[in-house]
């Protein structure tokens, strides 16, 4: 395991894009990039608590502003607000996944009664799933047909079928009764889901039905989020923190980004 970066407050939403690992520092009000050699850049986002990230086909970065309940767009020069969801969601926003045509799926993290909102390429929002227990990390399969979401307080991964219009249907369990609340997740080419198991202090690879095939123990550190990337897609990037509850970490710089090689490469979105 290699430590790529530390000295930030609360890392979330890692994404591999164009040779860089991108992630949010939610409490530090910034988005960072890190190279495989550990060189870091920073996009300040004062007044926002960024979380979920995703890239549209034109290369623009979408950023979830959690407490403002907005989605931002960064085109490489300017940050603009493309959607204000304040009037249509029951709780602060969290993670996000963007599909191959630029539709963004954003979770509103109510402990019960959480929703997923789809933001179409024209930036119009639609609620596409309801009654979720703290919807968190999300992935989309390579064929664009299935979305998997981590329901943290329910300790399960839930799958939906994605319709041609981006609607979600056929809700079903992908894995239930997990070892801990799942946070950020990543999908590999064999259909395995890497999940940050916060209170279990582990990253686990889970296959359909709930069997855990691999575990990475983080000791006393809290597993927050992960993604697959790197030149071969076999680098698992892991964000950890000193505590599972962000409010206890305000003003600290105790989060860390580690990387480890795994056997099965990345697949799907992100």
Per residue in 88-135, pLDDT tens?
Answer: 999 999 999 999 999 999 999 999 999 999 999 999 999 999 999 999
151-178: per-residue pLDDT in tens?
999 999 999 999 999 999 999 999 999 9
Contacts of 120 (CB under 8 A, 6+ apart): 103, 126, 166
What CA–CA distances, in Å, run from 185 to 67, 87, 148, 248?
Answer: 22, 28, 9, 23
Tell me the domains of the chain and their CATH numbers. Answer: 2-185 (2.120.10.30)
The Cα angle at residue 86 between residues 91 and 245, in degrees rounded to 5:
30
193-221: per-residue pLDDT in tens?
999 999 999 999 999 999 999 999 999 99
Residues of the chain with pLDDT > 70, as a percent, come to 100
Give residue 249's pLDDT band: very low, low, confident or very high (50, 70, 90): confident
CA atoms of 199 and 244, how far apart (whole Å): 7
| Nearest partner of 196 among 211, 208, 186, judged by Cα | 186
The two structure tokens encoding residue 225: 């989020």
- Helix and strand element counts for the chain (H, E): 0, 24
| Nearest partner of 226 among 267, 194, 263, judged by Cα | 194
Between 112 and 138, the more confident residue is 138
- HSE of 175 in the Cβ direction (CA atoms, 13 Å)? 27
Residues of the chain with pLDDT > 90, as a percent, come to 92
- HSE of 46 in the Cβ direction (CA atoms, 13 Å)? 0
Which residue matches tokens 């309940």? Answer: 69
Q: Residue 179: what pLDDT?
A: 93
The Cα angle at residue 13 between residues 176 and 170, in degrees rounded to 5:
40
CA 244 from centroid of its chain's CA atoms: 15
Residue 243 has pLDDT above 90, yes or no: no
18-65: per-residue pLDDT in tens?
999 999 999 999 999 999 999 999 999 999 999 999 999 999 999 999
Mean pLDDT for 225-252 is 88
CA atoms of 15 and 93, how far apart (whole Å): 18
CA atoms of 39 and 35, how far apart (whole Å): 5
Q: Residue 121: what pLDDT?
A: 97
Decide: residue 144, CB within 10 A, 0-12 exposed, 13-18 middle, 19+ buried. middle
Residue 242 has pLDDT above 90, yes or no: no
The two structure tokens encoding residue 142: 């390579």
Q: Residue 250: what pLDDT?
A: 77
The full DSSP string for 219-240 is TTSEEEEEEEESTTS-EEEEEE
Residue 247 has pLDDT above 80, yes or no: no
Q: Residue 244: what pLDDT?
A: 73
């Amino acid at each position: 395991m290699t430590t790529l970066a530390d000295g930030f407050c609360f890392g979330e939403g890692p994404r591999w894009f164009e040779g860089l690992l991108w992630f949010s520092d939610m409490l530090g009000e910034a988005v960072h990039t890190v190279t495989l050699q550990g060189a870091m850049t920073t996009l300040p986002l004062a007044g926002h608590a960024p979380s979920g990230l995703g890239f549209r086909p034109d290369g623009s970065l979408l950023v979830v502003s959690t407490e403002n309940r907005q989605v931002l767009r960064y085109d490489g020069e300017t940050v603009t607000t493309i959607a204000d969801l304040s009037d249509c969601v029951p709780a602060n926003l969290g993670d996000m996944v963007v599909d191959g045509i630029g539709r963004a799926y954003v979770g509103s993290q109510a402990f019960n009664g959480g929703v997923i909102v789809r933001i179409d390429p024209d930036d119009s929002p639609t609620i596409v799933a309801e009654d979720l227990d703290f919807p968190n990390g999300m992935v989309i399969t390579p064929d664009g047909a299935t979305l998997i979401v981590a329901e943290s307080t329910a300790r399960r991964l839930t799958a939906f079928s994605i319709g041609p219009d981006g609607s979600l249907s056929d809700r079903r369990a992908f894995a239930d009764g997990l070892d801990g609340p799942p946070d950020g997740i990543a999908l590999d080419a064999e259909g395995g889901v890497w999940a940050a198991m916060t209170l279990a202090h582990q990253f686990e690879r889970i296959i359909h039905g709930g069997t855990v095939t691999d575990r990475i123990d983080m000791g006393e550190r809290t597993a927050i989020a992960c993604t697959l990337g790197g030149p071969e897609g076999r680098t698992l990037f892991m964000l950890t923190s000193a505590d599972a509850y962000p409010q206890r970490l305000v003003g600290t710089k105790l989060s860390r980004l580690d990387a480890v090689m795994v056997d099965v490469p990345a697949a799907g979105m992100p």
